[in-house]
Amino acid sequence: MEFKYGGSETNQRTVLGHPSGLFVLFFTEMWERFSYYGMRALLVLFLTSALLDGGWEWSNADALKLYGIYTGLVYLTPILGGLVADKLMGYRKAVALGALVMTLGHASMALEGITGSFFYLGLALLIIGNGLFKPNISSIVGQLYKTQGKEKDAGYTVFYMGINAGAFLGILLCGYIGEQVGWHYGFGLAGIFMFFGMLQFWYAQGIFGDIGLKPVKGEVKMVGEVSKEEAEHPDHVYRDRGIVIAVFALFTVFFWWAFEQAGGSMTIFANNFTNRVLEGDAGMAFKVINSLIAIVPMAIITWVLVLLFKQTFAKYSLSNILLATSFVIIWGIVLWMLGRQFQDDAPEVPASWFSVLNSLFIILFAPLFSKIWQNVVNPSGPVKFAIGLFLVGVGFAFLAYGASNIPQGAETAAVSMIWLILAYLFHTLGELCVSPVGLSYVSKLAAPKWVGMMFGIWFMANFVANTLGGFTGSYIDQISEEYGLSTFFLIFTLIPIGAAVIMLLITPVLKKKMHGIH
């Protein structure tokens, strides 16, 4: 009996039109992104916070440099992680080991109050663990589908929604607890759910069948990834497709270099230059809106959880119980946070809160984009990249305009938060064009025996982008003093839009080298 999807018989049972195994990966990645983005939302704020407030009182420049190094390195190590999985332990063991190492990293950061050495040890463990985890869970997603068309694109978009569900909850809860209760509590909370994510994956991994097992020596296993005909393409086809992956990786540098200002210079803009104190009707409006954006996505994700349980509980009950336990805990924390906020007569919006908007918009718009790619119009990969680059540039144009009245060299201001909200909206729409599409195209174009390695190279582009983004962002005070804050944001407007134009011009050449992959 031939299965429609890769993996076990249980994986043939669908949730929202996709194999059940996709949602095991969905929730594993969700908790990993909860931990990563929850910590990332706090990093710059913690480093620049006053000593009396429990921070380290670093300068903006030094904090953004460390931010760039850290966020860069978490994308460099996947090159080694992809190789380790491809040649030694297989994708599944690499994912589980990476999750364990990251759990230990978060635990170490929670102990930063004892000695600063724990903070740096925690960062190192997070970097190593992410290298094992990140490329290999993406590779498993690709092998769930036997076809290379729209269904696979839609699967990656659903997976990407899981990524952002975790990011949303991590920023919302770790950010709030870190800023309002204590930095180390925020760091520790991130690790708890990383641990739950690891356990639910480990006890449900049988659903993947042979996918992601340790490779057999001397044999290239083609588990649900490509047809026999696809595997027998001549070398020059995969060489051309590898060139396309390299071009996509180069242009994605421009996107993430700008986009990743979210945890750096945009967080500083939110903290120092945005009016975040809300009183009267505005304060009540924020409380209601914040409650809705916390409860509604949580309800949707819980509904998806129930759908998964219906298909997999009989076979993987322990994994389901662990996942349910994590949701009981997270619901309790959400309700506790909202209760505290409603008791505050003049709530101050946490600076980390604005990063939540990116993940919220992803949750809202990812299903729409998935349907557009499937049923309405499905432009080629290069065109999607160009659209994404253009939109991220437009987002920074709003920030440049919002900052236009801030005097040169000003250290604080109180501009409307609408400019940050609009920026995050357009950045998110651009991200939906670039990131899930990019993951899918790497899976489609890479030679089968090098899928993990090619995902590693893809994430190397993110290393370059994040590192450059952090070091560019570190000049925010210097550029603001000499030319104005608006000029700083214009840099991130013009360069991505210029890259978008170039991508459109070379699209015909790239399509030819893709050899039939749309």
- DSSP secondary structure code for residue 204 in this structure: T
Let me know: does 319 contact 204? Beta carbons within 8 Å.
yes
pLDDT at 232: 57
- DSSP secondary structure code for residue 415 in this structure: B
Q: Quick check: helix, strand or coil at residue 402?
A: helix
Radius of gyration of the chain (CA): 22
- DSSP secondary structure code for residue 380 in this structure: -
pLDDT at 18: 92
- How far apart CA 253 and CA 475 sit, in angstroms, is 19
Q: What residues have CB less than 8 Å from 201, skipping those under 6 apart?
A: 24, 25, 28, 95, 96, 99, 319
pLDDT at 316: 94
60 token code pair: 């903006």
Q: Which helix (H) or strand (E) holds 336?
A: helix 317-342
First and final CA of the chain: distance in angstroms? Answer: 30
Cα distances (Å, whole numbers) of residue 1 to 5, 8, 9, 12, 142: 12, 12, 10, 12, 22
Let me know: does 86 contact 452? Beta carbons within 8 Å.
yes
pLDDT at 374: 75
- Taking 50 as the pLDDT cut, the residues of the chain under it are 216, 218-227, 229
- How far apart CA 185 and CA 252 sit, in angstroms, is 34
Alpha carbon of residue 80 to chain centroid: 20
- How far apart CA 422 and CA 22 sit, in angstroms, is 32
46 token code pair: 């913690």
Q: Would the pTM of this model clear 0.75, i.e. be above it?
A: yes
508 token code pair: 């015909």
pLDDT at 148: 65
Beta-sheet strands, E only, within 336-445 = none
450 token code pair: 């090098």
Domains located in the chain, CATH noted: 13-216 (1.20.1250.20), 233-276+354-517 (1.20.1250.20)
pLDDT at 224: 43
410 token code pair: 């000003």
pLDDT at 116: 85
- How far apart CA 159 and CA 19 sit, in angstroms, is 12
Burial (0-12, 13-18, 19+ Cβ within 10 Å), 375: exposed
- How far apart CA 233 and CA 384 sit, in angstroms, is 26
Per-residue burial over 17-54, b if 16 or more Cβ lie within 10 Å, else e, is ebbbbbbbbbbbbbbbbbbbbbbbbbbbbbbbbeeeee
pLDDT at 138: 83
Q: Quick check: helix, strand or coil at residue 14?
A: strand
* CA angle 379–460–219, rounded 5-degree value: 85
Cα distances (Å, whole numbers) of residue 377 to 201, 309, 369, 373, 433: 35, 33, 10, 6, 13
Give the distance between the most distant pair of CA atoms in the chain: 71
